[in-house]
Amino acid sequence: MPSYFSTICWLRRDLRLHDNAALYHALKNSQSVQCVFVFDASILEKLNDPQDRRVEFIWHSLRELNERLQSLGSRLQVLHGKPIEVIPAMAREINAEAVFCNHDYEPDAVSRDAAVAQALSAHDITLHHYKDQVIFEQSEILNGSGKPYGVFAPYKHAWLKKLDDFYLRAYPTERYFAALAPCAAQAIPSLESIGFAPGKLDLLAMLTGESGAMTLFEDFIRRIGQYQEARDFPSVKGVSCLSAHLRFGTISIRRLAVAARHVGGAGAETWLSELIWREFYQMLLYHYPQLAQGAAFKPQFNAIVFPNDAAKFAAWCEARTGYPLVDAAMRQLYQTGFMHNRLRMVVASFLVKDLHIDWRWGERYFAEHLLDFDLAANNGGWQWAASTGCDAQPWFRIFNPVTQSEKFDPQGKFIRRYLPELATCQNRWLHAPWLMPVSEQQRSGIMIGQSYPQPVVDHALARIKALSLFKDAQLYV
């Protein structure tokens, strides 16, 4: 690696100073490093909500990052525009000889980075890439034939077998902070200046930035021993709550993997397995970029002709299905931008297998509303639930929304939190309130069809139809 005088560290999905691969290499190999973030106009213009939580989460994290850099005598340069234009322009403005960044594996990001690299090379400026958001990337974990794994279990086994201290070492960026470019203090641009407004994130008291990530991380490590049992129950604090921070890189994946490995035990092992699932889906997206274009991993299921009843889809989106756990989960998503992982599986299965709606419709809806939206994980999760994906739920296994409700929210604490209209419903009726006798409806003040909707479908009949759809798709391919 040559030694440079002036360089740029282009931050994207790595909004932190600690243990950041690209920042480490930039600082170590440069005399002056300017940290830059670009609010990508080509992405922002596709967002429909001016109070998009993700933009606000990023903005708060950038503000903290800027304050940290200012305490070190530098600052974060925040730009708004198209990277292919603003990155080369800034590089030329400060006479940067190179730009450093971390890999982004999504197909559009790969194309963007290739275009930026070409634009920079026209001015003899080099773009350097590094692995940062995963432990193992792209083709680092392959089967004996040199091909990507198609089943998770052997992938996980190979992943764990390859793991050692080398892959978990943190990048000691702090050792080289003296190379940060000296800059006068300056606030980052306002949300309003890029066409957005605060609101939804503040209402949730969401912890952002590196400090927020560390607070959540330290809290989770204290209760990680219960993760295996607690993670399936949405009414308890059983999950890590770190998904958005992992998505935007306000915490290092290496820190998380080290902690899981160090703590050990069933809870930590289960959590580490979830982190490996994340990398499994990243690997699949790299090797099969057509997944980002709506292709089913199992091509025979591209032949499914979903009825796609728009009214039923609207009922799902608007939490009007008449199935309390499904509706409560959809309310949680709409109100908070988060949905518990068990419930993601439940509502996805319900959309595809009960309402017979194309899984891509649900994938797009989640992409619009999830604070922790990640293309690979979202696509992998939806294809798992829809039985169209790699190592997915078998198509003939269909979640029963009532039994899922009874099993994972037995006292109805989660349901009542997000469906206050069912607060007075007795537990015996809560999971299938349409079975309530009229006298009980009158007593509780919950009139099915008025204060709470009738079920949009009969699960038993919908299940039969779903089996037929999937069976036919396989017969005629």
Q: Using CA atoms of 346, 349, 351, 354 in order, give the dihedral in degrees to the nearest 10.
A: -110
Helix (H, G, I), strand (E, B) or coil at 15: coil
Whole-angstrom CA distances from 184 to 60, 72, 77 are 20, 11, 11
CA distance 91 to 125: 8
Quote the pLDDT of residue 191.
95
For residues 149 and 257, membership in a common domain is answered with yes
CA distance 296 to 340: 24
**CB of 230 closer than 8 Å to CB of 238:** yes
Q: Is residue 376 part of a domain?
A: yes
**CB of 33 closer than 8 Å to CB of 8:** yes
* Amino acid sitting at position 356: H
Residue with tokens 């069933």: 266
What residues have CB less than 8 Å from 464, skipping those under 6 apart?
none
Q: Is residue 187 part of a domain?
A: no
Look at residues 364, 352, 360 and name the one whose alpha carbon lies nearest to residue 296: 360
For residues 13 and 70, membership in a common domain is answered with yes
What residues have CB less than 8 Å from 401, skipping those under 6 apart?
323, 325, 326, 346, 350, 354, 459
Burial label for 417, CB within 10 Å (0-12, 13-18, 19+), is middle
CA atoms within 13 A on the CB side of 261: 16
Q: pLDDT tens digits, residue range 349-405?
A: 999 999 999 999 999 999 999 999 999 999 999 999 999 999 878 888 899 999 999
For residues 116 and 150, membership in a common domain is answered with no
CATH number of 155's domain:
1.25.40.80
For residues 225 and 320, membership in a common domain is answered with no
Both tokens of 209, joined, read 């930035």
- Give the 3-state secondary structure percentages of the chain, helix then strand then coil, rounded to 5: 55, 10, 35
Indicate yes or no: pTM above 0.85.
yes
**Structural domain count, the chain:** 3
Q: What secondary structure letter does DSSP report for 377?
A: H
Whole-angstrom CA distances from 219 to 216, 238, 338 are 5, 11, 18
How high does pLDDT run on average in the chain? 95
For residues 259 and 327, membership in a common domain is answered with no
Domain range for 55 is 4-132
Residue that is last in its domain, among 227, 254, 287? 287
CATH number of 8's domain:
3.40.50.620
What residues have CB less than 8 Å from 399, skipping those under 6 apart?
345, 346, 349, 350, 353
Relative orientation angle of helices 341-349 and 401-408, to the nearest 10 degrees: 160
For residues 158 and 276, membership in a common domain is answered with yes
For residues 115 and 138, membership in a common domain is answered with no
* Amino acid sitting at position 56: E
For residues 370 and 466, membership in a common domain is answered with yes
CA distance 477 to 475: 6
CATH number of 340's domain:
1.10.579.10
Which residue stretches of the chain have pLDDT < 50? 476-477
Q: What secondary structure letter does DSSP report for 448?
A: B
Quote the pLDDT of residue 391.
85
Quote the pLDDT of residue 434.
98
**CB of 64 closer than 8 Å to CB of 208:** yes
Residue that is last in its domain, among 264, 287, 310? 287
For residues 109 and 141, membership in a common domain is answered with no
